Chain A
Amino acid sequence: MASLHLNAATTAPSQHTKYPIVTGTSVLGLRYDGGVMVAADTLCSYGSMAKYKDARRIRTVGPATLLGASGEYSDFQSIMDMLEGMEQQNDNFDDGHSTDAQQTHSYLRAVMYQRRSKMNPLWNDLVVAGPNFLGLVDKIGTTYTDNFIATGFGSYLAIPILRKKWRPTMSEGEARGLLEDCLKVLFYRDCRALNRIQIAKVTEEGGAVVSEPYEIETDWSAASFATTKGGLEGDGGW
């Protein structure tokens, strides 16, 4: 009996990330008088489907660091596993030290650049925040620190607003109002955004805290959108 040969070579599946599948959109961060605030919506999209409406894209790392992620959610979970492992090692050592935000930022930069150099990136743009630190690490290992940060669509829609309205002496209430305003504009104009958001803050005294998700008010009622002027049918387009 002839034996069955597989003449066509079977190829293993690609082990290099070429595109993200489940994605989060913009993350915003800003410094205020007393600490740093990070904000993001709670949506993870599956392509053009709004699949996970309660995704937590901002998490605490240790007692006083916040990490917000846009991009591939599974890569964010993998990064969290890595960082939580490091936190556990710190706790086990029990010498009173833990990794601070600046150190987490540097560590993530090394990780992201190494993965990029192997052509297998962790497909995320990360915002790292500490009581007196705010920085970004992107999927190819670019890093910078600034008084306000935005990823994704936020760079186009939120940064102009932040550049205009940010002050170093902003109070917590003002900072939150400004971030909510930016997230509202993002909900209007980013197809992959949601109006259910989380705001997180990290301060010297209180450590890192992430709020529960809540909905922001949006206004679609402008009469000019609802009724056409001049009795003309439709929106003038077809």
Chain B
Amino acid sequence: MSEFTASETPESIAPPPAGFSFENVKRNAAISASGTTGAYTQAKAMKTGTTIVGTIFKGGVVLGADTRATGDTTVCDKNCEKIHYMAPNIYCCGAGTAADTEKTTELIASQLELLRMSTKTQSRIVTACTLLKRMLFRYQGHVSAALVLGGCDINGPHVYQIYPHGSTGKLPYTTMGSGSLAAMSVFESEWKEDMTEDEAKGLVERAITAGIFNDLGSGSNCDTCVIRMDGSIQMNRGALKENPVEPLRDAIKRSDRFNFPRGTTAVLSTEFVAHKTKGLSLDDVDVVTMDTN
């Protein structure tokens, strides 16, 4: 370590040379390579921070999610989709690393489709849960996907929670993500058995809103997805938009120097050419009857 500690005393610090300084690159590489526990590791940009919830009601399941994707402390995506399709009767909310939740749910969705083709039966939620947990356990938590799986099948409405290391829980209601405590406080105050669809949707919206406004990792809009026992789905992207960005954009006053009226640049001539679409159309082809003798 001695070659990396400053040898100058405070009184004799020389002014740094001009231009970029790469003196820490060698040090950082050496520390990372030295393998000491608790050593400096480069911060990885990944999405953490989410509020996702799921609850059963009398006649189906309602899933909810916020729409903020973060990379460390920056909002990468103000309106991302966290409720993923798994099967016609199964949807899955994902928290954790965005790529992991997206690809994991896609993979299991494709496995479920192949299974439906070979069994000619509707997918069951327990099947999706088992496929997900077996994959996640195999990766020992390195696939950072925390999921709320919900849907309706022959056995009724189901909600499962799945953790990155592969453990699962089957519950009437659950929340995951950094905003899960804020959302759970709403659920624990207001959840009841056998809610109607409207009561359940309202409860889910209030829970996600609690996450959006009380957790810094969650924000923007609330998406909900209702999966009913009769097989119908209602995907509400932007069910609740309490953080609209349009009023903020409209409030920006742009200088009139950038509002160039037509004709500021002199038009010398005009030519209109119809857009040629990709591939051939009948106009490009001379129709000739085939000789079928």
Q: Which residues of A contact B (CB under 8 A)?
A: 153, 156-161, 163-164, 181, 184-185, 188-189, 222-225, 228-232, 234-238
Contacts and interface: CB of A to CB of B under 8 A. Distances in A.
B172 A237 contact: no
Contacts of B155: 229-232
Contacts of A185: 184-185, 188-189
Contacts of A228: 170
Interface of B: 56, 126, 129, 155-158, 160, 167-172, 181-182, 184-186, 188-189, 191-193, 206, 210, 213-214
Given A161-B185, A185-B185, A224-B56, A235 B214 contact: no
Contact of A160 (B160, B186, B192): B186
Given A229-B156, A230-B155, A232-B155, A222 B171 contact: no
Contact of B214 (A153, A159, A223, A225): A159
Contact of A158 (B126, B129, B185): B185
Among all A-B residue pairs, the 8 with the closest Cβ atoms: A236-B170, A230-B155, A224-B172, A156-B181, A160-B182, A160-B210, A237-B168, A157-B185
A222 B192 CA distance: 8
B168 A236 contact: yes
B233 to A, nearest CB: 20
Contacts of B171: 224-225, 235
Contacts of A230: 155-156, 158
Given A156-B181, A189-B181, 10 more contacts: A157-B185, A160-B213, A184-B189, A185-B185, A185-B189, A222-B191, A225-B172, A232-B155, A237-B169, A237-B170
B193 A224 contact: yes
B170 A160 contact: no
A228 B156 CA distance: 11
Given A229-B158, A236-B170, A188 B188 contact: yes
Given A163-B213, A163-B214, A223 B181 contact: no
Contacts of B160: 236
B193 A160 contact: no
Nearest to B185: A157
Nearest to A188: B188
A231 B158 CA distance: 12
Contacts, number: 77
A159 B179 CA distance: 12
B184 A164 contact: no
A182 B193 CA distance: 20
B132 to A, nearest CB: 12
A181 B187 CA distance: 12
B193 A189 contact: no
A223 B56 CA distance: 12
Nearest to B55: A224
Nearest to B172: A224
A232 B56 contact: no
6 contacts: A156-B182, A160-B181, A189-B188, A235-B170, A237-B169, A237-B170
Given A164-B210, A189-B181, A232 B172 contact: no
A163 B210 CA distance: 9
Contacts of B182: 156-157, 160
Contact of B184 (A189, A222, A238): A189
Contacts of B172: 222, 224-225
Q: Taking each of A164, A189, A237, which has the highest tally of chain B beta carbons within 10 Å of its own beta carbon?
A: A237
A237 B167 contact: yes
Q: Taking each of B168, B170, B171, which has the highest tally of chain A beta carbons within 10 Å of its own beta carbon?
A: B170
Contacts of A229: 155-158
Q: Taking each of A160, A189, A223, A238, which has the highest tally of chain B beta carbons within 10 Å of its own beta carbon?
A: A160
B117 to A, nearest CB: 24
Contacts of B168: 236-238
Given A224-B56, A229-B156, A232-B155, A160 B126 contact: no
A235 B169 CA distance: 6
A229 B189 CA distance: 23
A4 B253 CA distance: 86
B228 to A, nearest CB: 16
Nearest to B191: A222
Contacts of B126: 232, 236
A157 B167 contact: no
Nearest to A225: B172
B193 A222 contact: yes
A224 B170 CA distance: 10
B56 A157 contact: no
A16 B213 CA distance: 38
Contacts of A232: 126, 155, 170
B131 to A, nearest CB: 14
B129 A181 contact: no
